[in-house]
Every structure is written in structure tokens, then in C-alpha cells.
Chains A and B, each alone.
Chain A
Amino acid sequence: MSMSDSDSSSSYGAEYKSLKQVSRERLLHEMLRSAKTGDSKSTWKVLIMDKLTVKIMSHSCKMADITDEGVSLVEDIFKRRQPLPTMDAIYFIQPTRENIIMFLSDMSGRKPLYRKAFVFFSSPIARELVMEIKKDAQVLPRIGALREMNLEYFTIDSQGFITNNERALVELFGDEENNRKAVACLNVMATRIATVFASLREFPFVRFRAAKSLDATTMTTFHDLIPTKLAAGVWDCLMKYKKTVPNFPQTESCELLIIDRTIDQIAPVIHEWTYDAMCRDLLNMEGNKYVHEVPSKTGGPPERKEVLLEDHDPIWLELRHAHIADASERLHEKMTNFISKNKAAQIQHGSRGSGEMSTRDLQKMVQALPQYSEQIDKLSLHVEIAGKINRIIRESGLRELGKLEQDLVFGDAGMKDVIKFLTTYEDTSRENKLRLLMILASIYPEKFEGEKGLNLMKVAKLTDEDTIAINNLRMLGGEPDTKKTSTSSFALKFDMHKKKRAARKDRSGEEETWQLSRFYPIIEELIEKVSKNELSKLDYPCLNDPSPTFHGTPYAGPVTQNPPAHSMRSRRTPTWARPRGSDDGYSSDSVLKHASSDFKKMGQRIFIFIVGGATRSELRICHKLTGKLKREVILGSSSIDDPAQYITKLKMLTAQELSLDDLQI
């Protein structure tokens, strides 16, 4: 018996909402707003969360949003808390035994900490734990709600989520013999993925990458079965939701494809040239936070100011997936347009000379003032950031490296070019050299075997620790094509001597406007195949495939003719320059609503889940294909990794080995 009684539904007839919007509204309205006793309208409440749920909340809502819903205090369930017996409490917690013990001790006894408790679990709760709660005769009358919220993921974008399994790559692909950690990791991941579908009220076709070594001669490893096991776990959860969650669809309404990091080992390390990816790659950002120095207004030393690059910033929202060169150009144009159009800027920049300001001018300036203050700060910030990135690109010779990276991927460069680069640009940073060699190792793994590999590392002047990262790429499997090629006949080998291997094909029809923008991650092809119902059933089986006897058009939504690719040079009217109504107060909700208006008349959603971490380039592709396919494409993963984070995790795949070596020494 499940306690779930979430009663809202995102019906298709209603307004189409993005994942972030749905999550936000469920947390703020379904949970915080609904938790009230009938007697008073404006009672302030306490919100109690655990380590994970506080992050879930902060990824979707700001503190101001929470306060607006009547929460005046946020508490950690495991910290000592001051009794507030005249206030109601909202618990948003994982359904763990420890949390329930804490909750029961709070609310039991003669002196409970709070007047009434409204409890929301982030995922399904085990039956025996429900019985524990029901056994407590003192606590029961003090419970105002006991529900499964089924929201246990972090929204990282309007179309992205992570399950916060940061160690998934190590636990699932590491060389540990013991699978216990791996199985636990998969179970957590499956539960959290399923809560995404519970929140959106979507029931997917569940497709997954099949194990590649399914023949009698080779033993199937645990690694090969990861997508299979995860798909089964998600399926189990969905079957339960089908019975327990109100308004959960009974027939399939979208697509889910489960893959892992082995499908593409280049995307995590190749330089991605979009504004968003460059910010994280080159600046020292913490999450979405960027710290910069602002000249002090009082003439003192510069102040450190923190800003968040997130969806509430319209400039960021527009430019983040643009090529850095495009973003720089557009920022310049925005500033020019802004100064010429905004009344406050005109007056402030002295376009009328030194004449006295008339009442009419004052009126116009005051009317434009909120826009001016808001936009000039944001514009100045982004102009500064873009300038900093461009300077770093110049100073570190990133353009030459980027060109070589892309040439390697498309088969226009090979081993010799890499060696030449390493000797010519000796002052390239260690990290960049390592990333270059990792791309090479993905395409030509045999070049790094034995003595040849060691020599290559010497030329690059990399450390033994760096070598571990390259060697561990093997644990994520080589390209299937590579194996076939390596068993080819002498004639083919001779031919290979001339022909360079390509990890990607140039895409016809795609307009390449900016330098260094040829690269695309593998999921772009996969998503397009999902959309056209062209995924190979052998490589990507489906747990709930439509019947083979099915006739007529495919169930997977209308396959409309793809519109021609949108040129990056043709710019829409900048959103900030549009005149606003005088009573249009700025709020983050209005930005989200503006974003979601584009989702009208969309086809069925497509979800891609990557086990072991996803990249910014993959997130960009989901946005790109959403516009192209007219279907919302949502990226999920165990985590989102920057290149440095990915390399660190890769080294940890054989952490045990390292410590053993230390012991020997």
C-alpha cells in the first residue's frame, strides 16, 4: 500500500511545461502551499530537509520563493533544532530509516517540537517504515499529511536533470570485483529516474543499449549490462507508479533511451566552444556561480561579487549555447542597441547636452529605470566574462589545439600531427595535452600499448598519474569498429597506413558558420534515430516494444519533415530590447513562462539518460534538437561533468591499484 496521493496532473490539454517548471511548481505549490491547517490563512511554517532534499529544493527554487509560500525557517533534520510548538512543520525528506527516526522523535512525547507535521517523502517509502509511523499513537494525530512526493532529482536546466550519483562512473565501471556498491548505485539511480516520470506524468517506452558481447565465446561483464539493469530497475518503479500515482498514464506517452558513458569518450574531453561550456572550462566557476571583482563605489579596494549564471538571466538564456565568437559579437550589438534605445541610457550618456532635464525626460527615465539598472548590470557582466574568455583562448593557444582536436575526430589529422603539435607548442598546459592524447587514445587505442605509449607520454612530458587516465579509457571499452578493423586482412592494414581513422562523419546539411564548431556528440545521432523510429532493435532493444503485428504509422509521434537548420547568423530581436508594459514587474516566473511558450504544439518528449556522467555539449544538443525535431528532448545523467572532473573520475577507476603500489613501495 503506497501513501502516494499527489493529485496534480500536467495534462496535455493544459499549458505545456518544462521539466524545471513542473518541478518548481510541484515543490512550491503541491508541497509548501498545500501544507496548511484550515484555521489560519497566513501561518508561517518551518521547512525541514535532509542533505539531499535541500539540494533538490535549491536546484529549483530560491529562498525568496520559499518565503513567499509562508516558510520563514529552513532547518536541517539532523541538526539540533529549537522547539517552535506554535508553528507547523513541513518535512521534505528521503524515506530512510534514520530520517523517520528523527521525525518520530521530533513529534512524539509530551512536548513535540512543532504543532503539526506535514511529511513529504522524495521517493517511495518501504511498507515496514510506514507501519513504524502508524504504530506511534502520539505522533499520528499530529500528522497533517503523509505523502510520497516522488521528486528526487536535481533540475540543472529547463531540459536537464541529474540523479546526483557523482561516483557512478567509479562504482559502476571501476575494477572492483565486488558488485554490491554498483548494484546499490543502480537501484538509487533507477528510483530517481522514475521520479522524473512521476513528476511529469509521463510513461515512456524504455529503450536501452544492449550488451555488446552477447556470444558464447565471450563472458558478459557487469559493465556491459549496466544499461540493461538500469532499464529493468526503472521499469519496476514505473509499474508501481502505474498503479499508485493518480493520473499516471496507462499507455506509453514518450521515449526513454538509457545509455552509458562508453558510447562517446571524446565528448567529455574535447573542447566545446559554446559560451556556457567555455565559462565552465576556462573560468573557475563553482556550479553556476561566477565570482568577479567590481570596482568599489566608495573608492576603496575592489569588491568580490557573486553572480549566478542561470535561467533567470535572459542574456545567459539566449547566449549560453551560442558559439563564443557569436556570443561576443551579439553582446557588442546588444550594448550598442541598448544605448541607442533605452531612454535612461540616452539621458545618462548626455545625448541632450547639458540642458536641464525636463519633467517629461524625467518621466521617461523613471519609467525606463528598472530596465536600465537591470540590463546594464547584466550586459556589463557578460561583456566582461566574454572578454576574459577570449583573452584566455588567445593566451593559451587554444585555437590551434581546438583545430587539431576537431581534425583528429573527423579523420583529417593523425598521430604525426599530434607529435608535431606537442613538439611545436611545448608550453601547452598539461591538462590540454592530456585531453588531446585522450582523444587520440579513443580513436587509436593501439598506439598507446606497451613501449609506444610510454614514448608518447615522454614526448608530451606527462606524468604517470596522467597515464592512468589514458589507460583507464580502456575500461570504458574501445570503439566497436576498432575491433573489427584490427582483425582485418593484410590488404586493409596496408590501406590503413594511408587512411586516417575518423570518429565522426561530417554532417551534410549542417551549416558550419563558426570555426571549431564541427564536432557533435554521439547522442545527436541517437536522438534523431529515436525520433524517426530508426534505432536498431538489436543494439537498442525496448522493454515495452509495440507489438510486431502493429500496423499503420509508428506510435512514436508524428515524424515531420525536418525544417532546414536555423542559421546562427540570423538573429532574433533581442528579448531585453522589447518594450515592456509599465506594470510588468520582473520575476523569474515570467522568464520561465516566456521560455515555455515555445513548447506549444510539441510532439512527445524524448528522454536520454547517460550513466556515468554527461557533458555540456550533450546538453546543448538536447536544446538544439528540441527546436529542430519539435519535441522536447530532456537529458538526464548521474552527473554533469566538466572535462577536469571527468578526468579525475577516470583516474579513480583504479584507485585501489594506486594504493597497492604505494604499499609495495
Chain B
Amino acid sequence: MKTDNTHAILSVRHLTATAYVLQMTRRGLGFRAGQHLLLGKSGSIHNREYSVYSGEKEDFFEVLIKEVDDGLVSKQLKKLQPGDHVQIEGPLGFFTIDKDFIENGKFLFVATGSGIAPFHSFTRSYPELNYTLLHGVRKVAEAYEKDHYPKSSHILCTSAEASGDFHGRVTDYLRSHPVSADTHCYLCGNFNMIHEAFDILEQQGVPADQVHAEVYF
């Protein structure tokens, strides 16, 4: 039975063997880039939080999902086909950009793995943004849809192979490439990266209220 928060799957785009983008109907729901959805298979009591991957002006929602080895929901959602349904709560959250800074602000986005999702949404929503995106992955193959980002703004940090733009973790890159204090920094991804990046940015003189974090577990 369909409920008010039921949305139809429009497509499933497999980016790697374990990462995929679910596209679903938006049904007129408003959202701000950087917010997330509570998403679960229709009829299931289980849901998980996923950042919106698509832009504010698009008439669908997309989320980027990384299948978790012992996960429940990420596996359920992976099996969905166009026409199937999901339940959505939200959009929720405060990991958003202050609109006053969009035109003239300088941004640093730091992501690990699927933590790139809100930055994809930022850049789809506000193409005029002046940003640098550090994306930390193990291998180049995990650079999800990197062609979307201008080469000059996208730095792929690969920790398990040297074929990215930088061989090492995003935090290693940050240490060797200090950030100016007027930068608005957004961190999204695993707990350890965020914890470490906070310290590095603080040491480099970025005020704490300019550092925003969305932690993925």
C-alpha cells in the first residue's frame, strides 16, 4: 500500500560493484543541498540516512549509496528496480551553505568515499561556487562520477594506489596544502577523517564556525 511518503524508483545507476545511485521521484518536496533523507524500502521498518546527491533544481531525488558488507538497508535498496517504491522521511539536516556566501565565498569540500554526495548536490545546485573538492578513496575506480567536477576543482586522493591526483589520504593532502583562514570548510565522510581534519584546519587558522561536518558511520 502506498503511503504519503512513498516515492517510485526511476533508475538505478551502478558506479562500482558496491556503489550505486538511486534516482526516485521527488513529488515536489523542497530541500536544500547538503540535507539528507531517511530512506528505506517501502513497507520496511528499517531506514538509513543518505545525503541527497542531486541538485535543488532537479525534479527528482538521487542518493549515492555504498553497499555495506554486513548492512541491511543498503543491500535491500540495491535490489530495487525502476517502478519499485521507497519510503522517505525528510529532507533533514543543517549541513547546508549559507546563501550569503555562495557568490563570493571560497569553499573547501573534503569527502571520503560516498561522503562526496552532498558536495555533488552543492555543485549541481550552485554551479557558480568557487570550490576545491578533495575526494579521498582507496582506488581511482571509486572516484564517483568525477567528470561532473571541473578538473581544476577536483583533487582525487588515493590511499591504496598512486594513480590519483595525490597519493595519500585527504588529511595528508590538507597538511601539505594549508588552507587560508577565510575558507568555508565542509567535511563529510568517515569519523576518523573528520576528527583529524578538524584539528588540521584549526591549526591552519580556520575559525571553528567556518568548519562544518557531516559524519558517516
Question: Is chain B a partner of chain A in the same complex?
Answer: no
